[in-house]
Amino acid sequence: MEEAFEKTANAAMALVVNTTESLESPTVAPGKEQQAAGLGILLQIMMLVLSFVIGHVLRRHKFYYLPEASASLLIGIAVGILANVSNTETSTRTWFNFHEEFFFMFLLPPIIFQSGFSLAPKPFFSNFGAIVSFAILGTFISSSVTAILVYLGGLLLLMYKLPFVECMMFGALISATDPVTVLSIFQELGSDINLYALVFGESVLNDAMAISLYRAMSSFRKHDSSFGNFFGIIWSFLEIFLGSLASGVGVGFTSSLLFKYAGFNIDNLYNLECCLFVLFPYFSYMLAEGVGLSGIVSILFTGIVMKHYTHTNLSENSQRFVTAFFHLISSLAETFVFIYMGFDIAMERHSWSHIGFIVFSILFIIIARAVNVFSCAYLVNMIRPASRKIPIQHQKALCFSGLRGAMAFALALQSLNDLPEGHGQTIFTATTAIIVLSVLLIGGSTGPMLEALQVVGDEHDGPLGERFEDDNYSDSYGEESSTSNRIKMRLKEFRTPSFSSLDKNYLTPFFTSQNEDGINSD
Amino acid sequence: MEEAFEKTANAAMALVVNTTESLESPTVAPGKEQQAAGLGILLQIMMLVLSFVIGHVLRRHKFYYLPEASASLLIGIAVGILANVSNTETSTRTWFNFHEEFFFMFLLPPIIFQSGFSLAPKPFFSNFGAIVSFAILGTFISSSVTAILVYLGGLLLLMYKLPFVECMMFGALISATDPVTVLSIFQELGSDINLYALVFGESVLNDAMAISLYRAMSSFRKHDSSFGNFFGIIWSFLEIFLGSLASGVGVGFTSSLLFKYAGFNIDNLYNLECCLFVLFPYFSYMLAEGVGLSGIVSILFTGIVMKHYTHTNLSENSQRFVTAFFHLISSLAETFVFIYMGFDIAMERHSWSHIGFIVFSILFIIIARAVNVFSCAYLVNMIRPASRKIPIQHQKALCFSGLRGAMAFALALQSLNDLPEGHGQTIFTATTAIIVLSVLLIGGSTGPMLEALQVVGDEHDGPLGERFEDDNYSDSYGEESSTSNRIKMRLKEFRTPSFSSLDKNYLTPFFTSQNEDGINSD
């Protein structure tokens, strides 16, 4: 059994090496290559199926200590170790670049789009201010705190010394939190709606923030190494973030107008409708990448806009189909990302010489996470009315949910290219260690944590995500949803032009083909 | 406008070159690469959207002279010519291998699977004997006739001279007919059900036959160049064909048992069910490729089996979803294949020096097609009862429908690697010319042809495919469907163990979870 496994693993390696070689020498027999590729992909499909089945079995037995993501990660690591042990001669570095491209081009887009697409508009928009604070300001705080601590640690010889701009890059990449695992448990256990919206919204938007910040730092590092040009960084960041946001929102609105006026739903052109719909997100991603912006940020906002406007312009059949389609594609990509991450963690050369860096950076990101959450929550609570303050349990839960995943890994991979040899290696190894620990530890203990903090809802088995999307639930926080409160909110809506009123009065009528009733019930 | 287009086309080229280079020198900045890749994929998405929209507009105006496939091909050729004109310095050969891999690994599998999956079981099985004759015997006849004529043409100095085994390879690859374009027009116009089943069944199965034959010849050519070992070829062909068939059917049956007993439909695990379902076809493909068989043949039979058995074990929601899913994926892949083919035809180096080869091979494949269809039809009509004979109009329509497409192109690409430089080039150029001509000419004239042969049904607008799948239509041919005929058929079923009775009495009860009624109505 194990031998067969090793053989297959060898074949997977051979696939990559062969593919690389084939590009250099085009006369290699394609039969052999295809055979090796077949075995390699076969192995990956088997790992995927295994992950799905194991995840299913664990969930069925309500064993929350090993979520699906952790299981996938462990499967990947196990297969990677086997492949590593059985095959030490071929250089594992050759296929590394392909790997990263594949990550960014084909695995991340569906995941990020689905994050935006599955965002329940109501709780998201009603907590919009708080989410943006946590995501934008919070991620900036978290990155800076991590960077400063790591820089100081380097100065005090506690850990490997990095230049400050590289510390900022590390801070940015390690501040990207992953929604996958924690949220699946939140859904399973049925946590508070507002807490769910906060955790989900923050982890989705902070990816966008982290990647923009990382890129800004990276381009700053390349072009100018003096620190006088502080506004250059800010400008670069704003350019990437706002440009990508605008491109994503633009593509989303374009798609909504296309589907509003093309009249596919009249002609019953079910397949054409779906084909065009699924091409738009990728179009948004590639458009942003093509003009040098961040595809991830762009596709995220395209997802939000397409869900809110374009989706309602589809025929009913197509609506159901595309929802299921993106759910399916992103599930496959997510599971594959964790497997692939595990595999790569086991295969990649790590520099374990700077063990101090790893230990201290774990300590520092915990501190940074706490500073981020509690300071932002303090600010949000200062502005919010007494009835809508974020309770301390929610703050603790949010602080706890800072699991690091695919985005941090992908950026760490990129840092191997962006930074000098030793620096990139150290950051990559530390990031890897943090991801594995946080996925296994945080992922495994989210269930008990939620119960200990008493933020678990009543319905233990109901799928929370669907409840969010279908329910016509009230705007206000918790139990204080009295009528007077509602009227106050509605009055406030008319006094200050909020996003909700803009949406209701102008955007929805313009971009969707709904009638008045539809708008009101939405 | 044109300049922008050229720039994008350049970027598409750069993408490929960059990707290739990046594998060789892993220190290339990934930002630039991603940007180029973004523009390249953006261009491809734009071509896809353009094809869909043009196809839609043409179909809406009932303009059958330029079907969607022809439109896609022309778009690809146009963009390819632009890219070629604007960029002559970069070597277009570098990305050629990747191209072929991409074709075989990611574009063909969904198309072929969908062919099997959308096969309406009733008309297919009731014409099973005829279809198998046309596909297996007919393709063999067609390949041999083409090969002999081309070989003789070479001997008589009419055309470029090739060794006989290479003539056989050319014969095999050029005998693979493409169902896409012709069938979409058949569906649109509503042709006779049995004719549709014949054309569809033949074009689907003969791909499998052609690829097996091609591979057998190719491996024969490599290992042994004497012609004494005739049984070696037969053995090699049978090994590939039957092995792949068995592996495909085996995976299909495995999946049906998994879904029968796993009980996903009870637990309402909609997403898990769909995830696993969509992984199976690819598993089948990669398994066959991994052990050195033909993935195309394997995935085709997996499609047939999964449609007939596994599909009925899914929950109703999942049934609808996976049908729409495969339809969507294969539509995208199909359109992309024609665009890509057009693009590559315009980009690839062609050897136009052997124009005689092209002209004569076009003549020869027309002869071979006619010999194939009319001789097989003669044989089938000898065996069939008078009421079920294939009318001469259907024979003519079948003969006419021999459009060459993706499979021939992919095999011709492979022949560039398999054969010596000049030979492969000549075959590739001839195949390319044949594909372009047949797609444009046959595709454009299928509508008038069907009307001239008076094989057009009554319902001009009904989607024929759906009618096939849903209708509970009778087994016998044409109007002679009297009760006595049915009873005779039923009696015959009990006398000689036919596939239908085997299916009804053993396979369906064993592999599906349907009740008795379900089986009878199926």
Q: Distance, in angstroms, between A154 CA and closest chain B CA?
A: 27
Q: State the pLDDT at residue A227.
A: 53
Helix (H) or strand (E) holding B488: helix B483-495
Q: What angle do CA B368, B369, B375 make, to 5 degrees?
A: 85
Nearest to B343, CA basis, from B24, B102, B180: B102
- CB-CB contact of A491 with A431 (8 Å): no
Q: Pick the residue with more confidence: A215 or B280?
A: B280
- The residue length of chain A stands at 522
Question: Are A45 and B292 a contacting pair at CB < 8 A?
Answer: no
Least confident interval from A328-342, B158-172, B508-522: B508-522
Cα angle A182-A184-A188, degrees, rounded to a multiple of 5: 115
The ipTM estimated for the assembled molecules is: 0.74
For testing contact with chain A, the best of B44, B54, B328, B421 (most A CBs within 10 A): B328
What are chain A's domains?
101-453 (1.20.1530.20)
Q: What's the rounded Cα separation, in Å, for the pair A193 and B27?
A: 46
Task: Tell me which chain A residues have a C-beta less than 8 angstroms from the C-beta of B292.
Answer: 31, 35
**Which pTM was predicted?**
0.77
pLDDT tens digits along B409-420: 888 888 888 888
Q: Give contacts of A268 with chain B, Cβ < 8 Å.
A: none
- Summarised one tens digit per residue, pLDDT across range B463-501 is 444 433 333 333 333 334 444 455 445 444 444 446 667
In 3D, which of B512, B369, B391 has the Cα closest to residue B442? B369
Does pLDDT of B24 surpass 50? no
Q: State the nearest Cα–Cα gap between B22 and chain A, in angstroms.
A: 7
For the ranges A475-479, A487-491, B314-318, the lowest mean pLDDT is seen at A475-479
Residues from chain B that touch A46, judged by Cβ atoms under 8 A, are 283
Cα end-to-end span (Å), chain B: 55
B496 and chain A in contact, CB less than 8 A? no
Length of chain B: 522
Contact flag A290-B324 (C-beta cutoff 8 Å): no
| Residue numbers in B near A330 (CB within 8 A) | none
Q: Around Cβ A421, how many Cβ atoms within 10 Å? A: 10
User: Which residues of A fall within a CB distance of 8 Å from B93?
Assistant: 26
Integer Cα distance of A498 and A128 in angstroms: 11
Nearest to A26 among B23, B96, B270 (CB): B96
Instruction: Flag whether pLDDT at A500 surpasses 50.
Output: yes
Q: Is A288 on the interface with B (CB under 8 A)?
A: yes
A290–B contact, CB cutoff 8 A: yes
- pLDDT score recorded for residue A23: 37
User: Which of residues A66 and B20 earns the better pLDDT score?
Assistant: A66
Q: What percent of chain B has a predicted confidence (pLDDT) above 70?
A: 75
**Cβ contact B23–A23 (<8 Å):** yes
pLDDT at residue B30 greater than cutoff 60: no
Q: What is the pLDDT of residue B37?
A: 65
DSSP letters, B248-273, are HHHHHHHHHHHHHHS-HHHHT-HHHH
d(CA B60, CA A268): 12
The whole-angstrom separation of Cα A256 and Cα A284 is 13
- Which residue is closest to B320 within chain A, CA to CA? A321
Q: Is A102 on the interface with B (CB under 8 A)?
A: no
Distance CA A198, CA A176 (A): 15
Q: Which of B25, B61, B221, B286 to mutate to test the interface with A (most CBs of A within 10 A)?
A: B286
d(CA B345, CA A311): 38
Q: Which residue from A35, A287, A332 is facing B275, i.e. has the nearest CB?
A: A332
**Across the A/B interface, how many CB contacts are shorter than 8 Å?**
190
pLDDT in tens, B163-216: 888 898 999 999 988 877 777 777 777 777 888 888 888 887 888 888 888 888
Average confidence (pLDDT) over A158-162: 78
Q: Does residue A18 register a pLDDT over 50?
A: no
* Interatomic CA distance for residues B378 and B148, integer angstroms: 22
User: Average pLDDT of B235-261?
Assistant: 88
Q: Dihedral sign for Cα A108, A112, A113, A118, please.
A: positive
Residue B408 amino acid letter: A
CA–CA gap between residue B76 and residue A117 (Å, rounded): 32
B338 against A228, higher pLDDT: B338
Residue A252's nearest CA partner among A324, A317, A300 is: A300
DSSP summary character for residue B101: H
Looking at the complex, does the CB of residue A437 fall below 8 Å from at least one CB of chain B? no
Structure confidence at residue B95 (pLDDT): 39
Q: Of the given ranges (A252-256, A351-355, A365-369, B430-434), which has the lowest mean pLDDT? A: A351-355
Yes or no, beta carbons of B272 and A24 under 8 Å apart: no
What pLDDT score does B337 carry?
85
**DSSP one-letter code for B134:** I
pLDDT single digits (tens) A161-184: 888 888 999 999 999 888 777 777
| Distant-in-sequence, close-in-space partners of A300: CB < 8 Å, separation ≥ 6 | A112, A113, A115, A116, A204, A205, A207, A208, A248
Which residue shows structure tokens 């912006």? A293
Contact B80, B2 (CB under 8 A): no
What confidence tens digit (pLDDT) does each residue in A183-236 have?
Answer: 777 777 777 788 888 888 888 888 888 888 888 888 777 775 555 566 777 787
Of the candidate ranges A144-158, A219-233, A426-440, B205-219, the one whose mean pLDDT is the lowest: A219-233
Q: What is the pLDDT of residue B494?
A: 44
Interface mutation target, options B10, B28, B45, B247, chain A, most CBs of A under 10 Å: B45
Q: What share of chain A is helix, strand, coil (3-state, %, to 5)?
A: 80, 0, 20
